[in-house]
C-alpha cells in the first residue's frame, strides 16, 4: 500500500507542480548526468544557462570526451567547485573509450564512475533506467525531517542512514523517476529552507513540524560551519602589452584555473604603496618596475571561506625570469579560465575583457 506521504506528493506533482527545467523528463543518461553535476552546489537559475551551453558545445559524451580540459574549464567558468568539472571530463573519457559512449545501466556501475555520489547515482538510475533508488539530498532530508518531526542531525552517520532508509521506504517503485523529481521540486518550491509555503502544502495536515511549530528548527545539524577569511593580493605584471598569468595547482581552491601573480597576506590586504614596493623589490630583485594602479577590494564568498582580494597593476621593464608562468597578450586573456573574482575585476576595471 502506498504511504499517504507518497500519494499526496504524487497528486500534488500531477495537479499543481508547474516547475519547468530543460532537463526535466529527460531520458538520456548523458544529459541527466550533466544536469546533475552542474546542479551540485548550484542554484537551478544559475545552472540552467550552463547546461544549455554544454549541450550546445558537447551534444554527446563523445564530444565532451574529445574536448580539451582547458576548453571545458572555460565553459564551466563561474560555476565554482571546479573538481566537478575535472571529474566530468575524466568520466566522459572513460564512458567514451571504455564503454563506447554508452552510459552504464546499473546503479552499481554508475556509482563507480568518478564524481558520482549516492544522490547523483540514484537520480541517473531512476530517471534514465527507472531503477528503484530514492534520491537523498538536503532538500529531501529537510522535507522528511519536518514531516516526521525528526531531530536526528542530518550530518551524522546515524542521520544519513536514517534518512536514506526512510526515503527509500517512501519511494514509488512503479515510477521512481517521477517520484524523485516530484520530491525535488517539492523541496524547491514548497518546503523551502526559508519561508516554506506551509499554508498551501498538501502535507500540512500530517506534518509534525507544522503541528508543533518546529518548521524553522528542522532539520538539525550537529556541525557548525566555521568560515575563514583569506587575503589575496594579485599583482598584474605587464610587459609590452602582455600580462603574466599562472595556473593554480595543488589541492587548494580554484585548481587548474588561471590567475595573476599572487601574494597571500596573513591578516589583511597590502594597503600601502610602501608595502607593495617592498614586496615587489624583494620579489623582482631590482627597481625595474612602475606601480601603476591599485584596485578597490573585491570579495568572493565560498562555502567554507571568504576571499578578499585586490589587484595591483605593475609595469615591468624586462621579463621576470625568476617567475614561472605565461606572458599572454591582453587581447587573448579572455580565452583562459579564471576564478569569478578575477573575472569581475577584469570586466569592471582592467579593460582586458
Which residue do the cell numbers 564524481 mark?
A: 115
50: nearest Cα among 12, 5, 93, 82: 82
29: nearest Cα among 85, 89, 106: 106
Cα angle: 116, vertex 120, 125; to 5 degrees? 105
Q: What gap in Å lies between CA 116 and CA 114, rounded to an integer?
A: 6
C-alpha cell at 19: 516547475
| Rounded alpha-carbon distances, angstroms, from residue 207 to 23, 54, 142, 186 | 30, 40, 12, 14
Q: What gap in Å lies between CA 9 and CA 192, rounded to an integer?
A: 15
302: nearest Cα among 352, 252, 343, 243: 252
Cα angle: 326, vertex 329, 335; to 5 degrees? 80
What element of type H or E holds 13?
A: helix 4-15
C-alpha cell at 80: 565554482
Query: Residues in the chain, how many?
Result: 353
Q: How far is CA 306 from the centre of its chain?
A: 16
90 included as an active-site residue: no
**Residue 193's CB: how many other CB atoms inside 10 A?**
12
C-alpha cell at 175: 515510477
Beta bridge partners, 147, equal none
The one catalytic residue among 36, 77, 238, 259? 36
Alpha carbon dihedral 136, 177, 75, 344, in 10-degree steps, equals -50
Q: What gap in Å lies between CA 353 and CA 351, rounded to an integer?
A: 6
- Catalytic residue numbers? 36
Amino acid at each position: 500500500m502506498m504511504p499517504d506521504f507518497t500519494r499526496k506528493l504524487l497528486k500534488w506533482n500531477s495537479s499543481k507542480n508547474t516547475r519547468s527545467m530543460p532537463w526535466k523528463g529527460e531520458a538520456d543518461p548523458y544529459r541527466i548526468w550533466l544536469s546533475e553535476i552542474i546542479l551540485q552546489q548550484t542554484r537551478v537559475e544559475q545552472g540552467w544557462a550552463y547546461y544549455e551551453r554544454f549541450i550546445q558545445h558537447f551534444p554527446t559524451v563523445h564530444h565532451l570526451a574529445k574536448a580539451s580540459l582547458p576548453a571545458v574549464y572555460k565553459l564551466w567558468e563561474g560555476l565554482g567547485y571546479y573538481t566537478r568539472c575535472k571529474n566530468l571530463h575524466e568520466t566522459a573519457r572513460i564512458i567514451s573509450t571504455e564503454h563506447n559512449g554508452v552510459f552504464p545501466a546499473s546503479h552499481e556501475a554508475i556509482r563507480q564512475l568518478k564524481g558520482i555520489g549516492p544522490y547523483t547515482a540514484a537520480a541517473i538510475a531512476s530517471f534514465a533506467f527507472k531503477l528503484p533508488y530514492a534520491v537523498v539530498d538536503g532538500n529531501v532530508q529537510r522535507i522528511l525531517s519536518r514531516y516526521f518531526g525528526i531531530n536526528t542531525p542530518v550530518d551524522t552517520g546515524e542521520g544519513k542512514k536514517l534518512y536514506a532508509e526512510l526515503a527509500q521506504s517512501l519511494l514509488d517503485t512503479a515510477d521512481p523517476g517521477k517520484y524523485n523529481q516530484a520530491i525535488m521540486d517539492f523541496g524547491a518550491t514548497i518546503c523551502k529552507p526559508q519561508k516554506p509555503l506551509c499554508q498551501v502544502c498538501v502535507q500540512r495536515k500530517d506534518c509534525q513540524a507544522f503541528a508543533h511549530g518546529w518548521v524553522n528548527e528542522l532539520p538539525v545539524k550537529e556541525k557548525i560551519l566555521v568560515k575563514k577569511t583569506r587575503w589575496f593580493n594579485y599583482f598584474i605584471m605587464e610587459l609590452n602589452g602582455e600580462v603574466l598569468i599562472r595556473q593554480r595547482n595543488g589541492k587548494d581552491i580554484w585548481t587548474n584555473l588561471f590567475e595573476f601573480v599572487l601574494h597571500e597576506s596573513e591578516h589583511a590586504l597590502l594597503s600601502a604603496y610602501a608595502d607593495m614596493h617592498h614586496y615587489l623589490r624583494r620579489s623582482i630583485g631590482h627597481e625595474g618596475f612602475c606601480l601603476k594602479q591599485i584596485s578597490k577590494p573585491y570579495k568572493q564568498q565560498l562555502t567554507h571561506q571568504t576571499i578578499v582580494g585586490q589587484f595591483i597593476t605593475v609595469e615591468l621593464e624586462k621579463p621576470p625570469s625568476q617567475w614561472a608562468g605565461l606572458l599572454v597578450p591582453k587581447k587573448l586573456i579572455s580565452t583562459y579560465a579564471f576564478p569569478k573574482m578575477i573575472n569581475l575585476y577584469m570586466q569592471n576595471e582592467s579593460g582586458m575583457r
